[in-house]
Chains A and B, each alone.
Chain A
Amino acid sequence: MRIAKSIKVKNLKKVFDSKNGPFLALNDINIEINEGDFISIIGPSGCGKTTLMRCLCNLEDITSGTIEINGKSPNEARTDRDFGMVFQTAGLLNWRNSIENVLLPVELSGMDKNQFKDKVNELLDLVNLNGFENNYPHELSGGMQQRVSIARALILEPKILFMDEPFGSLDHITREKLNIELLNIWEKTKQTIIFITHNIREAIFLSDKIFVMSSNPGEIKEIIDLDLKRPRDEQIKKTNKFKELELMGETLLQDNINEKIS
């Protein structure tokens, strides 16, 4: 059986017009992502990984090349609500409690939110927020807020989930905990997830495939296929294979930085 492609990117180029002249942010990006894959994009800060994601989810126009999301243009995919998005910061609406924040996509889609009552509770359960359904964002910790935003991204059951360094601002322990939660969610929903991070351990732990980017201009430098068994748990981080991959990833990122310096 031919595996369906979730995302196809061909010869993508993105140029920003800045005050100091045009800036080539992304150069000749070619990506194919299978349906149901967990993909990480990793690279040093400023390499264009966020720009790439913003192009994929239609927040930026592209300069040249093509992007297909579920066989449609990013704009069509967006208006068809094919994908959900988790941002670097939770971006909750301060005047809404957890339930109301999770229901936002439902309200914006024009569907009846009463039909999603069970679904909301189910999702808040899934992200371990029982007992915080009626709390407002300022009453929640950073990690909890990010969990609400993950539930919000999942409420309409999008086929694709974009996550832009969602755990970047969290402490190490919370991050590892949320990584496991995210894998549990993904095992259940089997969405295509595109996950941006600059943490190689996180990327290896979560993904089927890692795209390593280099900067100036932003390019895909290497694609690492991970054949680590699933489902995964903390134990996997102690295996030799994991450590080898970690070393390999770090070397790749290191080379990247060294090239830039020399």
Chain B
Amino acid sequence: MKKLVELKWFPPIFFLIIIFILWVGSILIFKIPTYLLPSPLKIYNEIVQNFYLFAFNGFWTLIEAVAGYLFGGLFGFILGSLLAYSKFFEKGLLPYVVGATTIPIVAFAPLVIIYVGFGIASKIVIAAIVSFFPLTLYTLKGMQSSDLIHRDLFYVLAASRFKIFIKLQFYSALPYIFTAMKQTSTVAVIAAIIAEYIQADRGFGYLILQSSYVMDIPRMWSAVLFTCLLAMSFYGIVVLIERKFVWWHSSLKELKI
């Protein structure tokens, strides 16, 4: 038993089984009808029978989320770097960046759809907006968080402003940048779905909304699970990339107690 507990895959699988037992058990014991909570089997059947439907809509949500994530992240990184590079830009722009982060995306999304149009582009822009601000703020914070001893070292070595930036500040910011990228990976998926709720003819948001009109609960649940799967895989890929690039940072080492 002890060996089983130490296996890497065992703890998550263990709790997955517990959740399934509680799920199926409560349906059987309390006689919950399918139109309130479908059993895992019903959801499985729904997915198998309509796999193309989920794959098609999932594909578009994924495209919107990833494109928005990459564009928003890239521009966020560029703006964050600019703010870190120049005090003038930081003082002039940071208050507005912070202010902009308080705008709820649900409130702003309808405007984006009006400005950008009904196609996929408006969804990408909405996913980009939610990815943009965390990247800006975390990049700035990370670049300002280089160790004092390293700053002294670069100063004594008479490093130019640009070399301090690319050889010290950029690396110091990487752990922060990945923290933001992990956060926005899931948020970008949510933003794409919110955008699809407002107006769309494809995507998980569209599918969930359409199914809700006809009370197709198994389909709604399937779409929800698919969305989770999508966001989690996206998150997982970012974690793998992070391990490749910032393995040297202490946050990736296990805490000893």
What 0/1 readout, one digit per residue, does chain A (79-92) give for beta carbons within 8 Å of chain B? 10101110101010
Interface residues on A, range: 20 to 34
A108 touches B159 (CB 8 A): yes
Chain A nearest CB from B156 CB (Å) reads 5
Inter-chain contact B149/A105, CB cutoff 8 Å:
no
B243 interface residue per 8 A CB criterion: no
Q: What is the minimal beta-carbon distance from A203 to any residue of chain B, in angstroms?
A: 23
The reply on B201 being an interface residue by CB < 8 A is no
Supposing A94-B249, A108-B163, A136-B248 touch, asked if A57 and B156 sit within 8 A by C-beta, the answer is: yes
Per-residue B-contact encoding for A59-103, CB less than 8 Å = 1, 0 else: 100000000000000000011010111010101011100000000
Count of B interface residues, CB-CB < 8 Å: 19
Report Cα–Cα, A87/B148, bound state, in Å. 12
- B-chain residues with CB within 8 Å of residue A78 when the two chains form the complex: 155-156, 158
Q: B215-257 CB contact bits vs A (8 Å, 1 = yes)? A: 0000000000000000000000000000000101100000000
Q: Are A91 and B158 in contact (CB under 8 A)?
A: no
Contact A93 B171 (CB under 8 A): yes
B149 touches A89 (CB 8 A): yes
Q: Does A243 contact B (CB under 8 A)?
A: no
Contacts of B152 in A (CB 8 A): 59, 85, 87, 91
The proximity string for B residues 146-170 relative to A, scoring 1 for CB distances below 8 Å and 0 otherwise, is 0101101111111110010001100
Which of these, B153, B168, B249, contacts A87 with CB under 8 Å? B153
When A91-B149, A93-B171 are in contact, do A105 and B248 touch as well, CB less than 8 Å? no
- On whether the beta carbons of B248 and A138 are closer than 8 Å, the reply is yes
Does A59 lie within 8 Å of B156, measured CB to CB? yes
Do A91 and B150 contact each other (CB < 8 Å), given the known contacts A107-B167, A108-B167?
Answer: yes
A59: chain B residues at CB < 8 Å are 152, 155-156
Q: Is the CB of B158 within 8 A of A79?
A: yes
CA distance A236 to B246 in the complex (A): 48
Give Cα distance in the complex from A89 to B152, angstroms.
12
- Known contacts A87-B149, A87-B152, A91-B147: A107-B163 contact under CB 8 Å: yes
Instruction: State whether the Cβ of A251 lies closer than 8 Å to any Cβ in chain B.
Output: no
Cα of A114 to Cα of B160 in the assembled complex, Å: 20
Does any Cβ of B come within 8 Å of A58's Cβ? Answer: yes
Interface residue? A109 (CB, 8 A): yes
Given A95-B171, A95-B248: A108 and B147 within 8 A (CB)? no
Flag if A108 contacts B155 (CB, 8 Å).
no
Q: Which residues of B are found within 8 Å of A182, using beta-carbon distances? A: none
Render A135-151 as a binary contact track against B, CB cut-off 8 A, 1 for contact.
Answer: 01110000000000000
| A104 on the B face (CB < 8 A) | yes
6 nearest interchain CB pairs?
A: A94-B248, A91-B149, A108-B159, A85-B156, A108-B157, A79-B158
Apart from A78-B158, A85-B153, 15 more pairs, CB < 8 Å: A57-B156, A58-B156, A59-B155, A81-B158, A84-B156, A87-B149, A87-B153, A94-B249, A95-B171, A104-B157, A107-B167, A108-B158, A108-B160, A108-B163, A109-B158
Interchain residue pairs with CB less than 8 A apart (24): A59-B156, A78-B155, A78-B156, A81-B158, A83-B156, A84-B156, A87-B149, A87-B153, A91-B150, A91-B153, A93-B171, A94-B248, A95-B248, A104-B153, A104-B157, A104-B167, A105-B157, A107-B163, A108-B154, A108-B163, A109-B157, A109-B158, A136-B248, A137-B248
